[in-house]
Structures are given as C-alpha cells and as structure tokens.
Amino acid sequence: MSTTWIKLNAKALYLMKGGTNEFIEKVDLVPKLELLTGATVPTPIAGKFSLNIPARWFERSDAPGQMAINLTDTSEPSAFKTTTTPTAATPSTFSKITAPSGEEFAFIDSRSAGTSEPNLANFQPNQALNDGTLLPRYYFKVNDFKDFSKKLTTNFTLLEFISDTEIARGITFPYYIPVAIIRLADSMQSLRDRFGEPIRVSSGYRSPFYPDYQNNPSFKSAHRFGTAIDFVSVGDRIIDSQADLDFVDDKVFDGGFLGGGNRPSGSSSLGFEFTESAAEMGFDIHHSHLDMGYITQNAELIHVKDFL
C-alpha cells in the first residue's frame, strides 16, 4: 500500500491518496476570529486561519509521508472514490428509517448520495470539526414543510426536534436531519411517560445554517449531531431554578447522577449521557439540556439500529 500525502492550500488541509491528486479527507481552514478593541463580536482576520490536524490520519497503515504547500492555490482537488466490493448488507442499502410512530422517512448515506442530493452538501456531512470529530454521515430527508408535522412518537412531532431559530429564518428543502433524532425522540417519549406530563421542547437538531455555526463553523455541540434536546417546561413546571434541574435529572439519570457539568453526567437507562449545569448557563437557568454524546459515522447506525 502506498503512503498518503498531505496537501495544504488556501482552502483546506487534505489527506491525499498516494500517487494521485485526489483527496480522501479534508479539514477546511477556519478563519481566525479575534475580538477587536471596542467590538462585541469577534471579526475574521484576513490571512489568518486555524485548523486541527486529525490525529487519526497518522494512525493509518498508509500514514502520510510528505506534505505539499501552496497557499495561493484556491482550487479543490477531486475526492478519491474507493472501489467497493459489493457485500450482502452495506449501510447504504438502507432505504428508509421508521420512527416509533410508524412514519417512514427516506434514509440517506451521505457518502454514497452523490449528486442526486444537491442540497445535502450544505449540511456539511462528515466534515471534521477542529478536534477531528466528524459531523454525521447518515440523514433522513424532509421534502417540504408538511413533513415537519409528522409524528415521530405518540406525543412528539418532527417539528419539535428542529431548532426554532432555523425555522424562524426560513428553511430550504429538501432538508436533511441526522438519523440520531429518531432515537432521541424515542427516549424523549419514554421520559415524557415517566413524568406523565407534556414536555415543551425548545430546540433539538441545529444544522450548519444555525447562526452560531455560520459564525464559527467548527463549534462543537451535540445539537449538531441530532443527539441533544432543550426543553423549557414539564407540565406546569417552568424550568428556571436548580430545583427544576434536579427534578429532571432525578428522572433522567436513574442509574446514578454524577453532577451536571461533567461528561458523562451519570447513567441513564434512556440513553442520555450529559446535562448542562446551572454554572454552564451562567446561572441563568431557562431550560434543561440533555444529550446522548457526539454520535457519528458507524456509531450512528448502531444508535438507531432498532429503527432501520
């Protein structure tokens, strides 16, 4: 096996297939933001970029041996396509994912979707964040606004799992949602059943269109992976005090609570891993955040295997 090589140009850092000018993976350069004197919002600084080199590139059996640098080159090399030997059940053979409600959605493997899903690239599938964590690979497709009103579970619609901020800004269809949302909805239904009262959700999945990520494309949040939920009330109880957070965490972390602010925050038979503490909200408590971690690539299929 020939070794890979690394290419750095004005756009990105690429892991290149040996003996070709095609890339296997890339990390986009992120404009460096600095808070200028007197400003309240950080500004991108011309000519300054940052990125984290994914350590796994050097753990490959064909680890890179050389690097080429051309900072005036703004062209994008083409992606290296592996020739796959057909096997009985490759992930891309899934055509649908079925929510606990029985609603079915078109299942999309972003690595094989190609040009048939032109809007998919805007969701930045498989793009590496600065710490090397890749954004999700598997999505389901929503064709128009009517699809958002579909039920995922007895008590939750898909609309509740999409960021209000994004909806308010306007959504372009088709829209793609990480498959992990289906598992999250199932766990939220179980939590609702434990409370025996409605849960009012304020945010779930946030795509790269979400304003914070437009400003900081490498911002790491479980909301980008479809594994995080924020909710503002349970029945008549508005979540705005430490006692309210404790009330929720008691029900969620039934296997023992280690405390908010640590990952994991405890053990939950519902599959939750983390909750935000009051300190993380700057002691301005206005919701409960729960998430299942940064589930990505093959782990996504394991996470939703009951629904494929």
Question: Which parts of this chain interact with Zn ion (CB under 5 A)?
Answer: 230, 289
Cβ–Cβ under 8 Å, residues 178 and 205: yes
Cβ–Cβ under 8 Å, residues 15 and 24: yes
Cβ–Cβ under 8 Å, residues 111 and 301: no
- In this complex, which beta carbon is closest to Zn ion, that of residue 7 or of residue 224? 224
Q: How far is the CB of 287 from Zn ion (least distance, A)?
A: 7
| DSSP SS3 for 5 | strand
State which residue has the least CB distance to Zn ion.
289
Give percent helix, percent strand, percent coil of the chain, each to the nearest 5.
25, 25, 45
Q: Which residues contact 240 (CB under 8 A, 6 or more apart)?
A: 285, 286
- In this complex, which beta carbon is closest to Zn ion, that of residue 212 or of residue 306? 212
- In this complex, which beta carbon is closest to Zn ion, that of residue 230 or of residue 300? 230
- In this complex, which beta carbon is closest to Zn ion, that of residue 230 or of residue 244? 230
Residue 163 CA to residue 285 CA, distance in Å, equals 19
Q: Which helix (H) or strand (E) holds 201?
A: strand 199-203
Q: Which residues contact 301 (CB under 8 A, 6 or more apart)?
A: 91, 138, 179, 308
- In this complex, which beta carbon is closest to Zn ion, that of residue 7 or of residue 289? 289
- In this complex, which beta carbon is closest to Zn ion, that of residue 57 or of residue 225? 225
Q: How far is the CB of 222 from Zn ion (least distance, A)?
A: 7
- In this complex, which beta carbon is closest to Zn ion, that of residue 230 or of residue 249? 230
Q: How far is the CB of 126 from Zn ion (least distance, A)?
A: 23
Q: How far is the CB of 264 from Zn ion (least distance, A)?
A: 16
Q: How far is the CB of 298 from Zn ion (least distance, A)?
A: 25
Tokens of 74: 């703004």
| DSSP SS3 for 305 | helix
Q: How far is the CB of 271 from Zn ion (least distance, A)?
A: 16
Q: How far is the CB of 227 from Zn ion (least distance, A)?
A: 10
Q: How far is the CB of 257 from Zn ion (least distance, A)?
A: 18
Q: Which residues pair with 104 in a beta bridge?
A: 98
C-alpha closest to that of 192 among 251, 148, 237, 241:
251
Q: Which residues contact 277 (CB under 8 A, 6 or more apart)?
A: 245, 259, 260, 261
- In this complex, which beta carbon is closest to Zn ion, that of residue 140 or of residue 205? 205
Strand bridging mode 78-79 / 22-28: parallel
Residue 168 CA to residue 46 CA, distance in Å, equals 31
**Amino acid (1-letter code) at residue 291:** D
